[in-house]
Structure 1
Amino acid sequence: MQFVLTKPIQVRGLQKSYKQLQVLKGVDFEVEKGSIFALLGSNGAGKTTVVKILTTLLRPDGGSAAVNGFDVSTQSDHVRQTISLTGQFAAVDEILTGRENLVMIAKLRYLKNPRQVADDMLTRFGLTEAADRRVSTYSGGMRRRLDIALSLVGKPPIIFLDEPTTGLDPEARIEVWKVVKELADGGTTVLLTTQYLEEAEQLADRIAILHEGRIIASGTLAELKSMFPTAKVEYVEKQPTLEEIFLAIIGKKEGK
């Protein structure tokens, strides 16, 4: 199928079944260039299936999808050259150091000056001081930052993040949020899947809610809020959230 390249990601009527279970029942959405698009849904909603199809790891049963103007079914090689995928669990070699991981990926992508590429990524993701430590000594947040850095070697214009903060503590989650925002600010198109409402609220330019194999709502956060009647406003003293309390305490401890 031929696509006119107007959006980096275009999905039309996407369908997928596993044996007798239909996971995707006609999914439609588009993603703007340089934006963060959040695909929100509970476990089993079909989010990862959508990502696997768009990254050519799985063939759809029906409908069509294009990434950077290339059909994911018939032009998969071209799709792979323009994307990067970060899965739910960090795909890093724990025996190697952070620098060695980055140099290895740069060499696999036939980039010039792989050590310089690695140094640039270490600086960009705040990992310079830990560069020559084995990844097995990294915290969860550091591993995830390294994982995203590995995904960006070669500067892919489109990146898929499949539940990137699963299993991370609040502090590490905020670290990842910062990185994702910086990616979009730099012109990278980001498709993010998440089951965390706050994550979608914090990051996304547009949000699509996937439920039982279909997109049941889509739009900006303001547009989604406008679908519901305004709640009665009551003026009460604002109480800090548990996350705010946790980060404040951590900050004080580190300042000692």
Structure 2
Amino acid sequence: MHPTPTLAPFPAPAPADAPAVEVADLRRRYGSFEAVRGVSFEVRPGEVFALLGVNGAGKTSALEVVEGLAAASGGTVRVLGHDPRRERSAVRPYLGVVLQASGLPGDLTVAETVRTWAGTLTAPRPAGEALAQVGLTGRADVRVRSLSGGERRRLDLATALLGRPRVLVLDEPTTGLDPESRRTVWELVRRLVDDGAAVLLTTHHLEEAEQLADRIAIMRAGTIVLDGTREEIAATQPATVRFVLDPAAPRPPVPAGVEVVSAAPRVEWHTRTLQPVLAGLLAWAERSGVLLHGLEARAASLEQAFLAVADGADPS
């Protein structure tokens, strides 16, 4: 664990308790195609907000406006109280960005890359500290083109952390990383958030969103279909009860409100009242002397809600 450096203050005039990122009715078009269709959300200091969705849902198109790399076709975006494109000079010193692909020069060494990037910042952290944070100290003299995909991803993160950002935008930050490196990145993000940074994250690793995000939004076709905490989003889906009956066994009564997905001998029920349904089933099995083979009871999950949105189902 490395000590967390003191971060730069918020730029005036945004108060510390104001949203770090404000997106209101954001729209982005490519010709006649509208990739982002009226998206709204906020990210506050000390919070991780995860934007999820399948490829083509509009996540990166929305993030590029937040990053100041593209103009909005409609709506407003503010980062620390400023327009990230028109007032870029006010935002840039406090904004860290990890793109899906950075395109860092392959001929430079890792250390040269970090020092070059640091030269564009007002008050960067030492290059050695940035490399140590992402576990690349031993690769400082290696040319970027010789790094593995995971090492390049960690170098992307090192450059994003150089400026001690107050807002960190992470677009698929752990793509190509092994599980150990992924957890190292998670710990870095948690330390930044603990120190008050706001993090806007996109990821295809649902476990990553579950581990890091305080709030989550799931996009489909340019709109936010579900948003809330992990628990709130999971609660939009039913729990599942599965078991197998012997051929001669009696059939259990189906409780009110239970959807029967499949019947005996392989039974699957969907319910929004898991505990009473499960308790009633076990009591019936005890009274009837019935064995419930392979009994499985699963609460609803973020993955279940994500797949329902991806499939175009009504999440409610």
TM-score under structure 1 normalisation?
0.81
Paired residue for 2:217? 208
Structure 2 residue identity aligned to 1:107 = G
Paired residue for 2:28? 16
Structure 2 residue identity aligned to 1:62 = G
Per-residue Cα deviation, 1:184-213 (whole angstroms, up to 9, x for no partner): 234321111123323222221111111111
Give me the whole-angstrom Cα distance separating, in 1, the residues matched to 2:176 and 2:133.
Answer: 23
Paired residue for 2:47? 35
Structure 2 residue identity aligned to 1:156 = P
Paired residue for 1:241? none
Query: Which stretch of structure 1 is more off in the superposition, 194-203 or 174-183?
Result: 174-183
Query: Which stretch of structure 1 is more off in the superposition, 145-154 or 194-203?
Result: 194-203
Structure 1 residue 191 and structure 2 residue 203: aligned? no
Per-residue Cα deviation, 1:77-128 (whole angstroms, up to 9, x for no partner): 32223212111124433322221111111222254xx7x7111112222222
Deviation at 1:172, TM superposition (A): 4.3
Q: Which structure is larger by alpha-carbon Rg, 1 or 2?
A: 2
Paired residue for 1:177? 186
Corresponding pairs, count: 231
1:1-256 mapped onto 2 (5 Å cutoff): 6-111=18-123, 117-232=126-241
Deviation at 1:165, TM superposition (A): 2.6
Query: Which stretch of structure 1 is more off in the superposition, 171-180 or 190-199?
Result: 171-180
SS in 1 for 2:238: coil
Deviation at 1:151, TM superposition (A): 1.1
Asked if structure 2 preserves the Cα contact closer than 8 Å seen for 1:140 and 1:172, the reply is: no
Give me the whole-angstrom Cα distance separating, in 2, the residues matched to 1:139 and 1:178.
Answer: 21
Query: Which stretch of structure 1 is more off in the superposition, 225-234 or 56-65?
Result: 225-234
Deviation at 1:175, TM superposition (A): 4.0
Give me the whole-angstrom Cα distance separating, in 2, the residues matched to 1:211 and 1:192.
Answer: 16
SS in 2 for 1:22: strand
Paired residue for 2:266? none
Query: Which stretch of structure 1 is more off in the superposition, 184-193 or 56-65?
Result: 184-193
Structure 1 residue identity aligned to 2:76 = S
Deviation at 1:9, TM superposition (A): 0.5
Q: Percent identity?
A: 42
Q: 1:44 to 1:209 in 2, by over 3 A?
A: same
Deviation at 1:140, TM superposition (A): 2.2
Asked if structure 2 preserves the Cα contact closer than 8 Å seen for 1:33 and 1:187, the reply is: yes
Paired residue for 1:246? none
Give me the whole-angstrom Cα distance separating, in 2, the residues matched to 1:33 and 1:152.
Answer: 16
Asked if structure 2 preserves the Cα contact closer than 8 Å seen for 1:55 and 1:79, the reply is: no
Give me the whole-angstrom Cα distance separating, in 1, the residues matched to 2:151 and 2:89.
Answer: 31
Give me the whole-angstrom Cα distance separating, in 1, the residues matched to 2:90 and 2:111.
Answer: 28
Deviation at 1:16, TM superposition (A): 1.3
TM-score under structure 2 normalisation?
0.66
Q: 1:151 to 1:4 in 2, by over 3 A?
A: closer
SS in 2 for 1:16: strand
More helix by share: 1
SS in 1 for 2:145: helix
Per-residue Cα deviation, 1:40-86 (whole angstroms, up to 9, x for no partner): 01111111111111111111111111101112354233222321211
Structure 2 residue identity aligned to 1:78 = A
Query: Which stretch of structure 1 is more off in the superposition, 42-51 or 74-83?
Result: 74-83
SS in 1 for 2:240: coil
Give me the whole-angstrom Cα distance separating, in 1, the residues matched to 2:88 and 2:121.
Answer: 17
Per-residue Cα deviation, 1:17-38 (whole angstroms, up to 9, x for no partner): 1111111111010112122111
Q: Which runs of 5 or more residues in structure 1 are unaligned? A: 237-256
Higher relative contact order (CA 8 A, sep 6+): 1
Query: Which stretch of structure 1 is more off in the superposition, 125-134 or 216-225?
Result: 125-134
